[in-house]
């Protein structure tokens, strides 16, 4: 079981991701925008951050820049994004070692990704 | 655990409700338990009677309580409950009631009597007060509410599951379209389709019945039963979960049912769903080239659920798409083979006209490709260079036969005519678009590195690489062939002659690659090599010595 924060401004998609992850036995925190996500992470780090890119206030890229270097995400970040800006996002996020899944996300691929991020022996926080 | 995560949200809500109602101190120790109705099955001992839980749940659970035991068996005898004994000396009563519109048994338990252990002599139960009756009424209303909330939550979860499943399918279809465009052989496309259909339809086994199903060896009715099974040409199978041995190509339903489903699909060209025993079968058409119809068939056990219209639409569109791709691939392959055969026929006619040993152009094409590979050229470009080698002398079609086949010495004028053939070949094929490298090879295959060749007199690197390669291959094959005016040289001798001309008439780097490639071919495929160069060292044996100047000059006009 991993502790996962989901940051997503669409409440239905947020609920869907959260439901899917809880069903896999994870401990899930929900945030409706980047600022809320940052506050939650500052209160307590998580294993995996799943984030949307386009969010009001603090967007996904700003959120990642704020929390990943601070070591608030222990295992890895998965970005869910719309396909149209997929290529550009991938390049911009490559430096952080962030995984990108297009929306609509494949539930099984999301599970596999989280499994691979959390089952590895790497224990130090992401750089 | 919260409401929307509970597997049975209505039970969860009801339990919360009862917890609230049976808080100590409320209604003077009144507690309620529901021990069974159609919607609410008996709760396990230790959970159904809150009063007992208030005391010592572990003790009750281990020692057992006749009321709880009776409730757990759903064997609720009111009389038994009234007359029985609670091990904790609580006053227990049970009554039939209606909960959420359904009959249920409600148990009420009241606070401990003053005297402990006075079993068999319990004080009579006090008459039920007005407050209690009101409470029961509220409980019924609450139960109805809980039930409808439960239904909504269930529905909500159903929608969510459907959305998740649609997301998954969308991704699978997207992956399929991405991957299928990278696969170029038909078998691999079939495998990909089988695998994706298995995942899309959540089916353990998927089969592809070709149009020959049941035609080879055993008839379908013998499959499975008599130990016979369809050949891979008749039926290809895919089992989900990566069965390394490969599943047996025998669908887990009777072969006659398989044939009936396949026949239906072939006749109607529509997706077809049927129930066979306790297995659900879905079958759809995969239309291939020449209107041949293969049938893809997937099987689900009853427990995995029926195939819905969504599944039918899914398999229909995937197969339509897959059939299109397979047809295109087959067509492409057919056209490629056809153009190769036509070209070979044409080229061999030219070889005959020139009285070359038959297969000269074919061998030059082959050797060109071999050398190109040795030089590390991309495989698409190797293929083009091979074509160029095959067609290099196509211009000879326009050279009069009396000059081309003249046994004696050619006059200067005659030689000028022969020298026209590279340009003629170039002119013949120029109108065909996308010939690029092929034309370069044809036009320049008689250029020499020292600039003394024709038609352009190019030198060194200015000669296109493809032309330099063809020139080496052409020279080697000409030297090892018997001509009307001389016998063939042996292989070693031909190589020696080429080696001597390296740097002047032969490109040095290309010649090295040619030597390497030929040696490797001879070593790795000796039988092929012998067959291809069978004419060398036959008849009177190879001649020896250096060819005359005239022979080298005209060895490969
Ligand atoms: Fe030639």
Q: Which tens digit of pLDDT belongs to each residue from A73-119? A: 999 999 988 755 666 777 777 777 788 888 888 999 999 999 999 88
pLDDT confidence of residue A61: 87
Separation of alpha carbons B540 and B372, rounded Å? 34
- Average pLDDT for residues B32-44, to the nearest whole number? 47
Q: Do B4 and A19 touch (CB under 8 A)?
A: yes
pLDDT confidence of residue B74: 47
Ligand 1 centre and the CA of B445: distance in Å?
7
Separation of alpha carbons B301 and B290, rounded Å? 35
- Cβ–Cβ contact B3 with A under 8 A: no
Q: Are B424 and B395 in contact (CB under 8 A)?
A: yes
Cα-based angle B148, B151, B154 (whole degrees, multiple of 5): 150
Which candidate in A14, A15, A108 is best for mutational testing of the B interface (most B CBs within 10 A)?
A108
Q: Which helix (H) or strand (E) holds A3?
A: strand A3-7
Separation of alpha carbons B21 and B99, rounded Å? 15
Q: Which residues of A are less than 8 Å from B172 in CB distance?
A: 106
Q: Do B172 and A106 touch (CB under 8 A)?
A: yes
Nearest partner of B196 among B300, B291, B296, judged by Cα: B296
Selected residue with higher pLDDT from B106 and A126: B106
The hierarchical CATH code for the domain B183-331 is 3.30.450.40
Instruction: pLDDT band for B371, please (50, 70, 90 cuts).
Output: very high
Q: Do A107 and B160 touch (CB under 8 A)?
A: no
Among B residues 173-202, those touching chain A with beta carbons less than 8 Å apart: none
Selected residue with higher pLDDT from B158 and B358: B158
What is the number of residues in chain B? 557
Question: Which region among B204-218, B287-301, B388-402 has the lowest average model confidence (pLDDT)?
Answer: B204-218
Q: Do B168 and A108 touch (CB under 8 A)?
A: yes
Q: Using CB atoms, which residue from A16, A22, A109 is nearest to B163?
A: A16
Which candidate in A82, A104, A105, A110 is best for mutational testing of the B interface (most B CBs within 10 A)?
A104
Separation of alpha carbons B489 and B206, rounded Å? 60
Question: Which region among A24-28, A67-71, B302-306, B494-498 has the lowest average model confidence (pLDDT)?
Answer: B302-306
Selected residue with higher pLDDT from B528 and B222: B528
pLDDT confidence of residue B350: 82
Which of the 8 DSSP states describes residue B28? G
Separation of alpha carbons B347 and B36, rounded Å? 90
Residue of chain A whose Cα is closest to the Cα of B157: A19
Phi-psi region of B400 (alpha: psi -120 to 50; beta: other; left: phi over 0): beta
- Average pLDDT for residues B194-216, to the nearest whole number? 81
Beta carbons within 8 Å of B39's beta carbon, 6+ residues apart: B10, B99, B100, B102, B147
The structural domains of chain A, ordered by start, are 3-118 (3.40.50.2300)
Q: Do A19 and B163 touch (CB under 8 A)?
A: no
Instruction: pLDDT band for B8, please (50, 70, 90 cuts).
Output: low
Q: Using CB atoms, which residue from A19, A22, A106 is nearest to B168?
A: A106
Q: Which residues of A are less than 8 Å from B171 in CB distance?
A: 104-106, 109
Ligand 1 centre and the CA of B392: distance in Å?
6
Identical fold at B183-331 and B354-553? no
Distances (CA, A) of B519 to A86, B366, B489, B493, B530: 50, 14, 17, 14, 13
Which of the 8 DSSP states describes residue B247? -
Indicate if the pLDDT at residue B389 is higher than 90. yes
This prediction has a pTM of: 0.60
Selected residue with higher pLDDT from B336 and A127: B336
The partner residues of B33 in beta bridges, in order of sequence, read B107
Q: Using CB atoms, which residue from A19, A22, A107 is nearest to B167?
A: A107
Q: How far is A67 from chain B (nearest CA, A)?
A: 28
Q: What is the torsional sign of CA A64, A69, A70, A74?
A: positive
Indicate if the pLDDT at residue B125 is higher than 50. no
Instruction: pLDDT band for B277, please (50, 70, 90 cuts).
Output: confident
Q: Which helix (H) or strand (E) holds A42?
A: helix A34-43
pLDDT confidence of residue A16: 92
- Average pLDDT for residues B145-156, to the nearest whole number? 78
Selected residue with higher pLDDT from B139 and B372: B372
The partner residues of B489 in beta bridges, in order of sequence, read B543
ipTM of the complex: 0.85
Q: What is the mean pLDDT of chain B?
A: 75
Separation of alpha carbons B486 and A123, rounded Å? 79
Express as a percent the part of chain B with pLDDT over 70: 63
- Cβ–Cβ contact B167 with A under 8 A: yes
Find how far residue A117's CA is from the centre of its chain.
12
Out of A40-49, B177-186, B423-432, the most confident range is A40-49
Distances (CA, A) of B57 to B42, B53, B87, B406: 17, 4, 12, 115
Half-sphere exposure for A10 (CA within 13 Å, toward CB): 13
Q: Do B164 and A107 touch (CB under 8 A)?
A: yes
Q: Are A49 and A40 in contact (CB under 8 A)?
A: no
Q: Do A22 and B5 touch (CB under 8 A)?
A: yes
Q: Using CB atoms, which residue from B157, B160, B171 is nearest to A106?
A: B171
Burial of B313 (0-12, 13-18, 19+ CB in 10 A): exposed
Q: Which residues of B are less than 8 Å from A15 in CB distance?
A: 160
- Average pLDDT for residues B92-117, to the nearest whole number? 54
Separation of alpha carbons A89 and A80, rounded Å? 10
Residue of chain A whose Cα is closest to the Cα of B156: A16
- Cβ–Cβ contact B160 with A under 8 A: yes
Residues of A with CB under 8 A from a CB of B: 15-16, 19-20, 22, 104-109
Q: Where are the domains of chain B?
A: 3-153, 183-331, 354-553
- Average pLDDT for residues B421-447, to the nearest whole number? 89
Indicate if the pLDDT at residue B52 is higher than 50. no
Question: Which region among A59-63, B163-167, B551-555 has the lowest average model confidence (pLDDT)?
Answer: B551-555
Indicate if the pLDDT at residue B504 is higher than 60. yes
Separation of alpha carbons B127 and B129, rounded Å? 6
Alpha helices by DSSP H, listed for B90-213, are 130-180, 186-200
Residue of chain B whose Cα is closest to the Cα of A102: B171
Q: Are A13 and A100 in contact (CB under 8 A)?
A: no
Q: Which residues of A are less than 8 Å from B196 in CB distance?
A: none
Residue of chain B whose Cα is closest to the Cα of A103: B167
The hierarchical CATH code for the domain B354-553 is 1.10.3210.10
Separation of alpha carbons B515 and B3, rounded Å? 78
**A56-74 pLDDT, tens digit each:** 889 888 999 899 989 999 9
Distances (CA, A) of A45 to A9, A32, B174, B434: 20, 17, 35, 60
pLDDT confidence of residue B304: 80
Phi-psi region of B277 (alpha: psi -120 to 50; beta: other; left: phi over 0): left
Q: Which residues of B are less than 8 Å from A29 in CB distance?
A: none
- Cβ–Cβ contact B170 with A under 8 A: yes
Residue of chain B whose Cα is closest to the Cα of A21: B5
Indicate if the pLDDT at residue B476 is higher than 60. yes
Indicate if the pLDDT at residue B513 is higher than 90. yes
Q: Are B3 and B152 in contact (CB under 8 A)?
A: no
Indicate if the pLDDT at residue B45 is higher than 50. no
Selected residue with higher pLDDT from B271 and B503: B271
- Average pLDDT for residues B322-345, to the nearest whole number? 90
Q: Do B171 and A22 touch (CB under 8 A)?
A: no
Sheet with A99-103, side-by-side order of all strands: A27-31, A3-7, A46-52, A73-82, A99-103
């Amino acid at each position: 079981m991993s502790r996962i924060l989901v940051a997503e401004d669409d409440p239905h998609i947020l609920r869907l991701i959260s439901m899917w992850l809880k069903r896999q036995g994870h401990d899930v925190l929900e945030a409706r925008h980047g600022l809320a996500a940052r506050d939650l992470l500052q209160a307590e780090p998580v294993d995996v951050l799943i984030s949307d890119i386009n969010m009001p206030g603090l967007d996904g890229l700003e959120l990642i820049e704020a929390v990943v270097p601070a070591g608030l995400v222990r295992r890895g970040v998965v970005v869910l994004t719309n396909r149209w800006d997929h290529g550009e996002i991938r390049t911009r996020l490559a430096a952080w070692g962030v995984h990108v899944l297009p929306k609509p996300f494949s539930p099984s691929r999301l599970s596999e990704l989280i499994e691979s991020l959390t089952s590895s022996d790497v224990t130090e926080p992401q750089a | 655990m919260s409401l929307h995560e509970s597997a049975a949200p209505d039970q969860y809500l009801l339990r919360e409700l009862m917890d609230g109602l049976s808080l100590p101190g409320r209604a003077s120790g009144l507690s309620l338990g529901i021990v069974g109705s159609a919607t609410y099955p008996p709760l396990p001992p230790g959970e159904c009677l809150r009063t007992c839980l208030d005391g010592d749940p572990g003790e009750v659970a281990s020692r057992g309580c006749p009321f709880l035991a009776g409730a757990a068996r759903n064997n609720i005898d009111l009389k038994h409950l009234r007359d029985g004994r609670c091990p904790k000396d609580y006053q227990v009563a049970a009554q039939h009631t209606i909960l959420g519109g359904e009959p249920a048994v409600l148990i009420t338990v009241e606070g401990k009597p003053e005297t402990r252990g006075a079993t068999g002599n319990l004080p009579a139960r006090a008459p039920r007060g007005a407050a209690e009756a009101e409470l029961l009424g509220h409980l019924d209303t609450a139960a109805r509410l809980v039930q409808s909330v439960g239904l909504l939550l269930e529905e909500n979860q159903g929608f969510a599951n459907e959305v998740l499943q649609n997301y998954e399918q969308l991704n699978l279809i997207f992956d399929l379209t991405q991957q299928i465009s990278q696969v170029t052989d038909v078998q691999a496309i079939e495998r990909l389709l089988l695998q994706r259909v298995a995942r899309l339809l959540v089916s353990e086994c998927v089969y592809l019945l070709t149009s020959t199903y049941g035609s080879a060896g055993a008839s379908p009715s013998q499959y499975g039963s008599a130990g016979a099974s369809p050949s891979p040409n008749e039926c290809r199978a895919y089992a989900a979960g990566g069965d390394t041995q490969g599943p047996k190509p025998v669908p887990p339903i009777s072969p006659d049912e398989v044939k009936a489903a396949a026949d239906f699909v072939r006749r109607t060209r529509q997706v077809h769903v049927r129930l066979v025993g306790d297995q659900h079968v879905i079958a759809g058409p995969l239309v291939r080239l020449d209107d041949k119809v293969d049938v893809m068939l997937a099987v689900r056990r009853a427990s995995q659920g029926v195939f819905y219209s969504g599944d039918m639409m899914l398999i229909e569109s995937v197969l339509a798409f897959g059939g299109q791709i397979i047809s295109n691939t087959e067509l492409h392959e057919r056209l490629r083979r056809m153009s190769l055969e036509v070209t070979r026929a044409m080229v061999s006619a030219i070889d005959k006209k020139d009285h070359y040993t038959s297969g000269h152009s074919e061998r030059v094409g082959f050797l060109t490709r071999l050398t190109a590979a040795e030089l590390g050229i991309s495989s698409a470009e190797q293929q083009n260079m091979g074509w160029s080698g095959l067609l290099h002398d196509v211009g000879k079609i326009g050279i009069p036969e009396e000059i081309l086949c003249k046994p004696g010495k050619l006059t200067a004028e005659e030689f000028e005519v022969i020298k026209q053939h590279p340009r003629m070949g170039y002119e013949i094929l120029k109108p065909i678009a996308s010939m690029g490298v092929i034309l370069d090879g044809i036009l320049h295959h008689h250029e020499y590195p020292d600039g003394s060749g024709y038609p352009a007199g190019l030198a060194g690197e200015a000669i296109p690489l493809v032309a330099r390669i063809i020139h080496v291959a052409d020279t080697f094959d000409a030297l090892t062939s018997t001509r009307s005016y001389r016998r063939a040289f042996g292989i070693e001798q031909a190589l020696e002659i080429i080696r001597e001309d390296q740097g002047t008439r032969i490109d040095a780097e290309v010649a090295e690659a040619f030597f390497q490639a030929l040696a490797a071919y001879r070593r790795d495929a000796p039988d092929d090599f012998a067959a291809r160069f069978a004419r060398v060292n036959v008849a009177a044996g190879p001649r020896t010595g250096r060819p005359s100047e005239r022979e080298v000059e005209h060895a490969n006009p």
